[in-house]
Structure 1
Amino acid sequence: MSKSLIKWTVGTLAFSMSAVSAQAELPSQQQEQAPGWFRMMVGEYEVTALYDGQTTIDTSLLKGMEQDEILRHLNTLFIDAESGMQTAVNAFLIHTGENLVLVDAGSAACFGPTLGQVESNLRASGYSPDEVDTVLMTHLHPDHVCGLADENGEAVYPQAELRASQADADFWLDEERAAAAPEGNQAFFEMAQNAVAPYQASGRFKPFTAGDEVLMGIVAHDTHGHTAGHTSFMLNSDDDAMLVWGDVVHSYGVQFADPTVAIEFDSDPEQAIRTRESVLESAVEDKHWIAGAHMPFPGIGHIVKEEEGYRWLPVEFGPIATDD
């Protein structure tokens, strides 16, 4: 064998062994996600979506459409819902320049290990709970309200004034109503009352009524039906606007296609349907942003009218536009 051939053979072998060594040293898959926050500007207002987590709900909770039709709609969007449909839970942090406002507080420990991340994602986004001066509640269901208090019953947002609609407060915080409720529903009352309690005790709970401008540029809109006092919040800054709509839609794969589909959790299903139809129509006409508590994270987008029903157009990821 010639010397040149020997050198080529040795070199090739060394390269192959090096490649095998490099392959052997490949790091393990990380299998972790980035922190759950997303930021954009609405006029001069900075809006940060905060991911609380996700849960799975059974499609049988949707009312007004046959199950095979529900599954057909979901399958069209590549949602395999045979064992339930994934539903996100989102909250939204709004920096107006004068106030730091949290809309809804997430689930905390009320619902299993896949939820309860609002506080940690708020911190990851660059803010801390004691910097929040106002918490606005769309309604007092536990997946929105439990994150107000920690496991010791203390306020997670110690400097914040808590605001919820008078109608929802009158319903969920009424002890006599809670005691008279069916046994299976009493936990919902208890969780709402425990979450609100530290803010009431410190004199920092202040209900509002529909139509109130709760803060400069933020107006409470009556979107009741899901609960007696369910409220959405319209932000207006410069020529831009966003409606933070709470639980107007739970299943975007079904309720955009057919807004007349209700969900088991609606206290007044017929009114919830009328509200949804009105809100979707307005979103198309006015072309304002939507921020939804149960839309796929970050839960922000626009509504587009289809020949039948509507379509969700999610926001695109991008840099924050500044004047600098």
Structure 2
Amino acid sequence: MLTRRGLIKSAAALFAAGTVSGGFTPALAKAPFQPFQAPGFYRMKLGNFELTALSDGTIPLPLPELYTNTDAEDARRALAAAFMGTPTDTSVNAFLVNTGDRLVLIDAGTGAYLDGALGELVANLEAAGYKADQIDDIILTHIHTDHSGGLTIKGKPVFANATVHVNKREHDFWMETPGESRSANVPLSYFVEAHESLGPYAEAGRVRTFADNAGILPGIGSILRAGHTPGHSSIVVESAGAKIVFWGDITHGNVLQFDEPDVAIQFDTDQAEAIRAREAAFADATDGKYLVAGAHIAFPGIGHVRRDATNYEWVPVNYAS
């Protein structure tokens, strides 16, 4: 399998040899190409709070083959109509809430677990002006590896002073379910990685669980949106009359599932329940007209949902410098 590390090593070898395919010699170029983006953070205000979207990077996913309840070719056409190829570069986003009293991170990225241009959360956190040891609390929308893998590296907590908060049924599913009782449609590796990621915090007494639809911290609550995982929860943040809901994995992408909410994805633990959660999340966001943020919507992943002629439409937040 071609990994990110292997690709980097191969590219380095080619440049060291002074040539790449086609006989192109980078040294002869007027100026070398610069194959990197600006630091991945985007900052905005919410009432008296400060929000910072943090990119963990992107990963190319074969979305048409991963979506269910649709034909792969139809999904491919829908993506192409939005000028997206297949595989589709898919964002992995986390979000930082500065309440003035606490720094609260919502989801923790992939860490070193996945390929693609991922694992950039801490670098982008630092580019945004913060340090990992300044984080007071981490709230997980759920415990899939792309949301919890960044908690640890080589068995050590990345966020040395943080307490991790997670829905109780989510915690119990991943951390307490005996091997013989685990869902057959969930890979064993997911359970292993969950224990590796949360284990050091649990051993230090720094994991807290919250009930369904419960408050978590001042100004921060939750909505159970089970289906993608058993305790998958959206996180609600409110300040001075302003509101944003951090969706977690209500959608994967910002095209197909808005037009067709009944399209699920293979990563869902319970696809039928995930569809019901998505329909409820769309309707509530549309009626409430509040901001939402998605973990796998094109970075920064913040915007609104509105109804349109085909069903729903994603409207990205208007950029402000």
TM-score (norm 2): 0.88
Does the aligned pair in 2 maintain the 1:51–1:117 contact within 8 Å?
Answer: yes
- Residue 268 (str. 1) matches residue 270 (str. 2): yes
TM-superposed deviation, 1:267 = 0.8
Q: Which of 196, 199, 204 is the aligned partner of 1:197?
A: 199
Using the aligned pairs only, state the percent identity.
Answer: 36
Unmatched segments (≥5 aa) in structure 1: 1-23, 320-324
Look up the match of 1:70.
Answer: 75
Deviation sequence 1:195-223 (CA, Å, 0-9, x none): 00111111111111122211111111111
- Residue 61 (str. 1) matches residue 63 (str. 2): no
Deviation sequence 1:220-263 (CA, Å, 0-9, x none): 11111100000011111112110000000003211011101000
Deviation sequence 1:104-151 (CA, Å, 0-9, x none): 000011101411111111011000011100000000000111100012
276 and 73 in structure 1: CA distance in 2 versus 1, 3 angstrom threshold: same
- Residue 122 (str. 1) matches residue 125 (str. 2): yes
Look up the match of 1:44.
Answer: 48
126 and 277 in structure 1: CA distance in 2 versus 1, 3 angstrom threshold: same
Distance in 2 separating the partners of 1:78 and 1:180: 39
Distance in 2 separating the partners of 1:175 and 1:286: 37
Distance in 2 separating the partners of 1:70 and 1:113: 22
Give the 3-state SS of the residue equivalent to 2:156 in structure 1.
coil
- When the two structures are aligned, how many residues end up with a matched partner? 293
Distance in 2 separating the partners of 1:70 and 1:176: 37
Q: Which of 213, 237, 249 is the aligned partner of 1:211?
A: 213
Distance in 1 separating the partners of 2:178 and 2:299: 37
Look up the match of 1:94.
Answer: 97
Does the aligned pair in 2 maintain the 1:52–1:106 contact within 8 Å?
Answer: yes
Give the 3-state SS of the residue equivalent to 2:298 in structure 1.
coil
TM-superposed deviation, 1:71 = 1.5
* Cα RMSD for the two superposed structures: 1.7
Does the aligned pair in 2 maintain the 1:89–1:143 contact within 8 Å?
Answer: yes
Deviation sequence 1:48-83 (CA, Å, 0-9, x none): 0010011122221101111221112111100122xx
Distance in 2 separating the partners of 1:278 and 1:145: 25
Regions of 4+ moved over 4 Å: 178-184
Unmatched segments (≥5 aa) in structure 2: 1-27
178 and 193 in structure 1: CA distance in 2 versus 1, 3 angstrom threshold: farther
Distance in 1 separating the partners of 2:301 and 2:207: 27
Look up the match of 1:8.
Answer: none
Give the 3-state SS of the residue equivalent to 1:68 in structure 2.
helix
Distance in 2 separating the partners of 1:218 and 1:138: 13
TM-score (norm 1): 0.87
- Residue 159 (str. 1) matches residue 161 (str. 2): yes
Give the 3-state SS of the residue equivalent to 1:164 in structure 2.
strand
Does the aligned pair in 1 maintain the 2:50–2:98 contact within 8 Å?
Answer: yes
Does the aligned pair in 2 maintain the 1:178–1:186 contact within 8 Å?
Answer: no
Look up the match of 2:150.
Answer: 147
